[in-house]
Amino acid sequence: MSNVIKLLINEDTVQQAINLIRGSDVCGNNYLKVVLGLNDDANDQLISVLVHRNILGEIDEDGNRKVFSHEDD
């Protein structure tokens, strides 16, 4: 059996998320889920992509993630 990853989001969703959080210092863990109308799995996938691309940091004790500006890259 091969490992298959089902894509629940696309690049348009990623770009919408980036535009929504651009200029913010932090992003609540469920903010994008609510605003973009994502289910739990799609939200988890989106957050993983944004963390992998160094747009969001790891979750902190308050349930927020640091939003990195382009200067942080």
Residue 50 has pLDDT above 90, yes or no: yes
> Beta-carbon neighbour count of residue 59 at 10 Å?
15
Q: Where are the domains of the chain?
A: 11-67
Contacts of residue 8, Cβ cutoff 8 Å, sequence gap at least 6: 38, 39, 41, 42, 45
Query: 5 or 66, which is more confident?
Result: 66
Global pTM reads 0.83
Please tell me the predicted confidence (pLDDT) of residue 72: 41
According to CATH, what is the number of the domain 11-67?
A: 1.10.10.10
